[in-house]
Amino acid sequence: MKTIIEPFRIKVVEPIRMTTPDEREAALREAGFNLFNLRAEDIIIDLLTDSGTGAMSSEQWAGMMRGDESYAGARSFYRFYDRVRQITGFEHVLPTHQGRASERILFELVGGPDKVVPNNNHFDTTRANVEHSGARALDLVIAEGRDPRSLHPFKGNLDVARLTSLFEDVGADRIPLVMLTVTNNSGGGQPVSMQNLREVRAVCDRYRTPLFLDACRFAENAFFVKKREAGYADRSVAEIVREMFDLADGATISAKKDGLVNIGGLLLLRDGELNQQARNLLILTEGFPTYGGLAGRDLEAIAQGLEEVLHEDYLTYRIRSTEYLGEKLRDLGVQIVEPPGGHAIYVDARSFCPHIPQDRFPGQAVVCALYRAGGIRACEIGSVMFGREEPPSMELVRLAIPRRTYTQSHVDYVLEVTAEVYAGRDRLRGLRIVEEPPALRHFTARFEEL
């Protein structure tokens, strides 16, 4: 059949509160034109993030009831540990409350002044944690990964020649590890190929430097490998996932994505010595190593989620439903980052409103317009998020799709609203920041419309 259906039935529903244009205008002004400051109740379709916003399955909820809340050595930890070990092969598995906690522990141990950390593209919290340690975060994605129009099938790939030059220029002793973000969130949710992973691994081996994955969306990346990379069509997603992790010395993971849960994270390590140091830091701020800032019930939900995310029916529906939104936006004439990513569609805000200069935040203007027109919350990934020091290469608006949460008619509504905003795009106005914190300003900055 051509129709790919949601491979689940809906058992519990959460009503959406409909809002009027006047209510939205008032809410937007109250929020200082920053949609992170809105009350979620004032939103009709929330595409701010795919992180922690998905729906859990009946088996995950059943696991929540089975959660063992013992402080140390809980049964739920061992269920979690066994599942992670089975999927990834890692012996050292630390639970954390979310991805950035894993990043904070890792970079406190390996970062520091004078160090340089290369990545295809650092996600904002990864960059912030690298920089917080005093190190420099460097983005080395391939040139096609910076071109919204390029149809390269693996635009998340890291530029291996630039990585080699970096090792030659700064020396391996200043590069504590190389990171690869799969899929590459800040670069449009684009996958990394197995071939690129192997090539990066070879460079790391040559310079005796560990390779780490930022593996929040490991299953979506593996599914793209299966669909797009020669030689993988007949391999199961689980096998591809295992091959990806086998190439790495460690991984930071936010379970709020492909863990299919609302909270949780992991730090995976091969090095026993580093693991010991990480455990000590974990105890200091997260919790005992058999719960790491999570409840036993959360560990149960993650263990189950990690199993469900490898179901190929689920991944077929997941990737196709994101692609559907991308295709229809393209039909409206909206330039998106091509090809559609795994967890989100990224609209090119520069071509959406070319009359708004980069320092007047075209992405934020689009985000505000989508909210005004239809109560949709999207996320600016451009100069607000990354442009504090220098302008980023792309000005994007991310429409992230929560997992198993919205149906096709919700997506059709998003398309109708976007069509209306696009038709009146000449009237969109830029913004000016009137208040901002020293780091991660996109979360709390306040704006004024020009």
Render the burial of 201-221: b for 16+ CB within 10 Å, e for the rest: bebbeebebbbbbbbbbbbbb
* Least distance CB 183 / ligand PLP (angstroms): 8
The C-alpha atoms of residue 137 and residue 134 are separated, in whole angstroms, by 10
HSE on the CB side for 168, CA within 13 Å? 6
Q: Is 322 in the site for ligand PLP (CB under 6 A)?
A: no
**Residue closest to 369 by CA, chosen among 337, 347, 402, 336:** 347
Instruction: Work out whether the CA dihedral 33, 39, 45, 46 comes out positive or negative.
Output: positive
Residue 284: Cβ within 10 Å count: 10
Q: Is 256 in the site for ligand PLP (CB under 6 A)?
A: yes
C-beta of 99 vs 392, nearer to ligand PLP? 99
C-beta of 254 vs 321, nearer to ligand PLP? 254
Q: Is 34 in the site for ligand PLP (CB under 6 A)?
A: no
Q: Is 189 in the site for ligand PLP (CB under 6 A)?
A: no
The C-alpha atoms of residue 349 and residue 380 are separated, in whole angstroms, by 9
* Least distance CB 84 / ligand PLP (angstroms): 16
**Residue closest to 307 by CA, chosen among 212, 215, 233, 241:** 241
Q: What single DSSP character describes residue 184? A: B
Q: Is 399 in the site for ligand PLP (CB under 6 A)?
A: no
Residues of this chain, 62-101, that bind ligand PLP according to CB under 6 A: 98-100
Q: Is 129 in the site for ligand PLP (CB under 6 A)?
A: no
Q: Is 421 in the site for ligand PLP (CB under 6 A)?
A: no
Bridge-based pairing of strands 250-254 and 265-269 is antiparallel
3-class secondary-structure state, position 239: helix
* Least distance CB 99 / ligand PLP (angstroms): 3
C-beta of 100 vs 350, nearer to ligand PLP? 100
C-beta of 123 vs 352, nearer to ligand PLP? 123
* Least distance CB 80 / ligand PLP (angstroms): 16
* Least distance CB 126 / ligand PLP (angstroms): 5
Please report, for residues 7, 59, 303, the alpha-carbon distance to residue 314 in angstroms, rounded to integers and kept in the order given.
6, 15, 17
SS3 content of the chain, % helix, strand, coil (to 5): 45, 15, 40
The C-alpha atoms of residue 342 and residue 178 are separated, in whole angstroms, by 23
Residue nearest to ligand PLP (CB): 99
* Least distance CB 47 / ligand PLP (angstroms): 13
When binding is defined by CB under 6 A, the residue of 77, 80, 81, 123 that contacts ligand PLP is 123
Stretch that binds ligand PLP, among 120-128, 131-139, 193-201, 362-370 (CB under 6 A): 120-128
C-beta of 214 vs 249, nearer to ligand PLP? 214
Write out the residues near ligand PLP by the rule CB under 6 A: 51, 98-100, 123, 125-126, 181, 185, 214, 216, 254, 256, 265
